[in-house]
């Protein structure tokens, strides 16, 4: 009898641990059951209409918070239309505890205006062109200390055509890989699994040195973090059979018609709030009246769950 109680106490203790700890199957399966229960399977299911983006009602806040808890993302649909006021996405972010923006090269006060740019250095980077962008998480080339935990995209103006995003919760791909072979996860957690070669500009100056890092890592709070890019140039994968098999499976999953891959084009006043989910962007065309403008905000914190 006492040994049964001991086993139960043991189980309870491990349920409290991180589900992303490969040595903790109890926590993983408890979490998995809850995770997949009623998981949204259409982009419409993660859209939340809000009446004032700058000041959500308690009910609106809770719906967005709970969606982010479930799928690591939500889409708010405000009625600010093409109002270019940067305070709209900033105040939305602040309501979810996001206050430490990433200071990247193109950011002005932590906000990056994604539009087709004419100036020279921006034109060298795909986000500032109308070209498609392969699957990735933001900031995969950042140092371990500056990992992007959350990503917001706010639409001021969509393109005349195209500019659709695909979105996928990194925990879904984690589940798929762990289900196939837990050693895939182990391999992708190695700190030297992906290497992003140095960024050197035309003048030969080094903007960023070679960066090594894992795909999956466990944050101090037990949450999962993912770094990934589907690019085949400007990335070197560790030449290990397990790594290559895991990356191939990951790549293949991103090209399936999984119901967990959401696809949609943000409309004026709409935005994505996410824990840096996997995403891509289709190519687009602007015309005189429709020049695509999205604000991008990246933070070193996750979306608050309180
Ligand atoms: Fe991105």
- pLDDT per position as a tens digit, 245-256: 999 999 999 999
**Domain ranges (residues) in the chain:** 40-299
pLDDT at 145: 87
Span from the CA of 6 to the centroid of ligand 1 (angstroms): 47
Q: Mean pLDDT, to the nearest integer, of 11-36? A: 86
Q: Please give the DSSP secondary-structure letter assigned to residue 106.
A: T
What pTM, to 2 d.p., does this model score? Answer: 0.92
Q: Mean pLDDT, to the nearest integer, of 258-273? A: 98
Span from the CA of 216 to the centroid of ligand 1 (angstroms): 17
Q: Mean pLDDT, to the nearest integer, of 195-217? A: 91
Which segments of 72-118 does DSSP mark as H helices, in order?
87-95
Gap between the Cα atoms of 209 and 283, Å rounded: 29
Helix count and strand count (H, E) for the chain: 8, 19
44 pLDDT higher than 70:
yes
120 pLDDT higher than 80:
no
pLDDT at 268: 98
**Pick the residue with more confidence: 198 or 277?**
277
Gap between the Cα atoms of 207 and 286, Å rounded: 31
Q: Give the H/E segment covering residue 68.
A: helix 58-71
Lowest mean pLDDT among 77-86, 99-108, 148-157, 171-180: 99-108
Q: Mean pLDDT, to the nearest integer, of 28-51? A: 97
Instruction: Cite the beta strand spans of 187-282 per DSSP E.
Output: 194-196, 199-200, 206-208, 211-213, 216-218, 224-226, 236-237, 262-264, 270-274, 278-281
Q: Mean pLDDT, to the nearest integer, of 52-61? A: 98
Label residue 233 exposed, middle or buried (CB < 10 Å: 0-12, 13-18, 19+): exposed
Cβ atoms < 10 Å from Cβ of 150? 28
Q: Residues whose CB is under 5 A from ligand 1 (ion)?
A: 138
Residue 298's beta-bridge partner residues? Answer: 151
Span from the CA of 147 to the centroid of ligand 1 (angstroms): 13
Label residue 119 exposed, middle or buried (CB < 10 Å: 0-12, 13-18, 19+): exposed
Span from the CA of 165 to the centroid of ligand 1 (angstroms): 10
Tell me the average pLDDT of the chain: 92
pLDDT at 2: 45
Span from the CA of 202 to the centroid of ligand 1 (angstroms): 24
pLDDT at 126: 82
Span from the CA of 286 to the centroid of ligand 1 (angstroms): 19
Q: What percent of the chain has pLDDT over 90?
A: 79
**Pick the residue with more confidence: 100 or 5?**
100
pLDDT at 150: 97
Span from the CA of 279 to the centroid of ligand 1 (angstroms): 6
CATH-assigned architecture of domain 40-299: 4-Layer Sandwich (3.60)
pLDDT at 4: 55
Span from the CA of 276 to the centroid of ligand 1 (angstroms): 8
Span from the CA of 135 to the centroid of ligand 1 (angstroms): 8
pLDDT at 189: 97
Span from the CA of 136 to the centroid of ligand 1 (angstroms): 6
Angle at 264 between CA 100 and CA 178, to 5 degrees: 70
Lowest mean pLDDT among 33-42, 166-175, 201-210, 261-270: 201-210
Span from the CA of 131 to the centroid of ligand 1 (angstroms): 13
């Amino acid at each position: 009898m006492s040994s049964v109680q001991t086993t139960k106490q043991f189980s309870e203790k491990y349920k409290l641990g991180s589900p992303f700890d490969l040595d903790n199957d109890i926590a993983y399966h408890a979490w998995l059951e809850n995770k997949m229960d009623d998981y949204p399977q259409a982009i419409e299911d993660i859209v939340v209409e809000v009446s004032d983006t700058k000041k959500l009602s308690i009910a609106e806040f809770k719906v967005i918070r709970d969606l982010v808890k479930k799928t690591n993302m939500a889409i708010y649909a405000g009625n600010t239309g093409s109002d270019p006021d940067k305070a709209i996405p900033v105040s939305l972010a602040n309501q979810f505890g996001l206050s430490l923006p990433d200071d990247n090269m193109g950011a002005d006060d932590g906000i990056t205006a994604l539009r087709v740019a004419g100036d020279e250095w921006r034109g060298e980077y795909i986000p500032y062109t109308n070209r498609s962008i392969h699957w990735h998480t933001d900031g995969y080339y950042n140092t371990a200390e500056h990992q992007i935990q959350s990503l917001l995209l706010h639409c001021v103006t969509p393109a005349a055509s195209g500019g659709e995003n695909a979105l996928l919760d990194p925990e879904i791909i984690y589940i798929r890989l762990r289900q196939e072979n837990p050693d895939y996860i182990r391999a992708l957690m190695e700190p030297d699994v992906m290497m992003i070669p140095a960024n050197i500009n035309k003048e030969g100056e080094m903007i960023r040195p070679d960066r090594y890092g894992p795909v999956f890592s466990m944050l101090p709070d037990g949450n999962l973090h993912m770094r990934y890019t589907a690019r085949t140039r400007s990335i070197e994968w560790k030449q290990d059979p397990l790594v290559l098999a895991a990356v191939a499976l990951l790549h293949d999953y991103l090209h399936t018609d999984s119901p967990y891959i959401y696809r949609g084009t943000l409309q004026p006043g709409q935005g994505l709030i996410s824990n840096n989910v996997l995403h891509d962007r289709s190519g687009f065309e602007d015309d005189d009246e429709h020049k695509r403008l999205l604000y991008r905000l990246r933070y070193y914190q996750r979306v608050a769950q309180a």
